[in-house]
Chains A and B, each alone.
Chain A
Amino acid sequence: MWKFFHKLASPPHFYRLAATLIPWFAVPGLVFIGYGAYAGLFVVSPDYQQGDAFRIIYVHVPSAYLSMMAYVMMAVGGGIGLIWRLKLAHAVGAAAAPLGAAFTFLALVTGSIWGRPMWGTWWEWGDPRLTSELILLFLYFGYMALRSSIDDTAKADKASAVLALVGVVNVVIVHFSVEWWSSLHQGQTVFKKGTMDADMRIPLFAMLIGFTLLFGAMLARRIRTEVLFRERRTRWVREMILSPEGDK
């Protein structure tokens, strides 16, 4: 058990493991997204209130969920890196940040497009959920800015880990803001029984799984690059690059 974790934390081992994992994440991820997108767009009948406009949830909900999961991942990675001094955990945080920012942006854009026909406005400042998601985007920007302005990687890792941990409070506020403040944004319906028809729900779950898997594949790829860059002066990287098989 411990041996597994020790091996996992070793950069060369993880570098190879990630390479084998990527297709296992990417292929099923694309299958799930393919099914979910097809079923969501063509099979599911229009909502009795929202018509066809609701179909954007098949993109909006998974990206909103990933925007928060990526942040939590960044913070957990930072925490593990600070406590157990695992460099790889910091690399996970560094790799997750731009992905998280991208999904946050996607959630904001799709939410805004959805809000136009439903609420009659592209943007509603009165809604805490929108505002908190925007704040989440700014937190990602802050994290990435802090990272890029410290040249020493080890120092940048630790400083940004502290920032990520402090910002977790905000992710909690994002999550509970729907209940805390009355808002335009609908309450959580996905995991509540009887609020959503099964026909509508199953493609959404497929999209959630597909997005998560695809996120995993992209993250693994980014971590590989991150590890390669951080370990660029080590022997295993040089040996790997110079070996006849190349980048394996």
Chain B
Amino acid sequence: MNTPTPQQPGIFFGLLAIARRDLLLAWKRPGDVLNPLFFFAMVCTLFPLAVGPSVEQLTFSGPGVLWVAALLATLLSLNTLFMSDHEDGSLDQLLVSPQPLPVLALGKTIAHWLISGLPLVLISPLLAMTYHMPSAVMGVLMLTLLLGTICLSLLGSIGAALTVGLHRGTALLSLLILPLAMPVLLLGANTVSLAAGNEVYATGIWALGAYAIASLSLAPYATAAALRISNE
């Protein structure tokens, strides 16, 4: 009875279609993907230049620096999440589509995470190596960044939806999202530091996982509401 007809595709179809479209768009414009990655690498490079190359210092502050850099890089990439859709009018099409808007917002966020979050997780061991991080800790770093970037993409999608179409959007987006992202940063960076100090770190992973699941289930609704408000 509820079988989707060709006129009314199911929600998974909508989810995959919008994610696929965003990935395709990113593929055509690789600069958008690479810029935040370069930014991530460069912030990580700036730090040893500023505080000096001493091994103890870098080992000690490595987890924090990598996490802050990851947070800022994600923030940088969030700016464009809805911007081009807003400019060329496709966002209005999404709003009037029969598909539930939270699902479409989730699809866009998943694509955003695959474009900006996942590459960041994948290159993080390379940068962690330059901070003399032991390889056992790198696994923890990647796991926390994996969960953390999911949280950040989802939280950020709310902020991006609230500020879409505003003139001073970029600075405002940071102001809105950074306070919300601080608990994620705190958990992520502290977990890696604990792991580096050979202490019990599992709690942080669980907490980050809980945060990721909670934002996965709630954030799309907030994003959808924000999109409707911004495009009234």
Pick from A21-29, A61-69, A85-93, A144-152 the stretch touching chain B: A144-152
Name the contact of A159 in the complex, choosing from B168, B179, B229 (C-beta under 8 A): B229
Q: Are A146 and B179 in contact (CB under 8 A)?
A: no
Q: Helix, strand, loop or mixed for chain A's interface?
A: helix
Q: Are B172 and A138 in contact (CB under 8 A)?
A: no
Name the contact of A149 in the complex, choosing from B158, B166, B182, B225 (C-beta under 8 A): B166
Name the contact of B180 in the complex, choosing from A82, A154, A167 (C-beta under 8 A): A167
Chain B, range 184-232, C-beta contacts under 8 Å to A? 186, 222, 225-226, 229-230, 232
What's the interface size class on A, roughly? 20 to 34
Q: Are A146 and B229 in contact (CB under 8 A)?
A: no
- Tell me which residues across on chain A come within 8 A of B167, comparing CB atoms: 149
Q: Are B180 and A146 in contact (CB under 8 A)?
A: no
For the complex, is B176 an interface residue (Cβ under 8 Å from A)? yes
- Tell me which residues across on chain B come within 8 A of A146, comparing CB atoms: 162-163, 172, 175-176
Chain A, range 128-175, C-beta contacts under 8 Å to B? 128, 131, 135-136, 138-139, 141-142, 145-146, 149-150, 154-155, 158-159, 162-163, 165-167, 169-170, 173
For chain B, the count of residues having a C-beta within 8 Å of the partner chain is: 22
Q: Are B229 and A158 in contact (CB under 8 A)?
A: yes
Q: Are B176 and A142 in contact (CB under 8 A)?
A: yes
Given contacts A149-B172, A150-B166, contact A173 B183 (CB under 8 A): yes
**Residues of A in contact with B (beta carbons under 8 Å apart):** 82, 128, 131, 135-136, 138-139, 141-142, 145-146, 149-150, 154-155, 158-159, 162-163, 165-167, 169-170, 173
Q: A154-B232, A155-B229, A170-B179 are in contact. List 16 more A-B contacts (CB 8 A).
A: A131-B186, A138-B175, A141-B175, A142-B172, A149-B167, A149-B172, A155-B232, A158-B229, A159-B229, A162-B222, A166-B155, A166-B158, A166-B180, A167-B180, A169-B180, A173-B183
